[in-house]
Amino acid sequence: DIVMTQSPDSLAVSLGERATINCKSSQSVLYRSDNKNYLAWYQQKLGQPPKLLIYWASTRESGVPDRFSGSGSGTHFTLTISSLQAEDVAVYYCQQYYSTPQTFGQGTKLEIK
């Protein structure tokens, strides 16, 4: 199985400031034949199911605010929130869908400082 490791486990950021969450995979999730990284990011607010934010490592899902962006390739990825809003308080997960079983990172809890 591909192991996904996120850092940090928790993060406190002031409103309006940048938040950065990292995700590392135990092997590359870049599929050479289509040059795509099989990596997604989800946001889970308390008591709700996860919500898809980013797929193919950097493609924003429809309706997701443009303050959310994804970057990286191969084994190292980053989710950036450019200007933190109060409604962004949540747990964030990365997920690889390069191979079965699909696996998730352990989650990063984002709070307001």
Partner 1 sequence: QVQLQESGPGLVKPSETLSLTCTVSGVSVSSGSFYWTWIRQPPGKGLEWIGHVYFTGSTDYNPSLKGRVTISLDTSNNQFSLKLSSVTAADTAIYYCARNKGRSGFFDYWGQGTLVTVSS
| Interface residues toward partner 1, by CB under 8 A | 38, 40, 42, 48-52, 55, 61, 93, 95, 97-107
Triad 67, 50, 27: Cα angle to 5°: 85
The first and second tokens of residue 84, run together, are: 């933190």
Q: Which residue, 61 or 82, is less far from partner 1 as judged by CB?
A: 61
Per the CB < 8 A criterion, the answer to whether 26 and 3 are in contact is yes
Closest separation in Å from C-beta 112 to partner 1: 20
The first and second tokens of residue 87, run together, are: 């409604």
Based on its alpha-carbon atoms, the radius of gyration of the chain, rounded to whole angstroms, reads 13
Q: Which residue, 67 or 91, is less far from partner 1 as judged by CB?
A: 91
Q: Which residue, 19 or 37, is less far from partner 1 as judged by CB?
A: 37
Closest separation in Å from C-beta 91 to partner 1: 9
Closest separation in Å from C-beta 17 to partner 1: 26
The first and second tokens of residue 41, run together, are: 């990011």
What are the CA-CA distances from residue 22 to residues 14, 38, 62, 80, 111 (Å)?
Answer: 18, 16, 22, 9, 16
Closest separation in Å from C-beta 64 to partner 1: 12
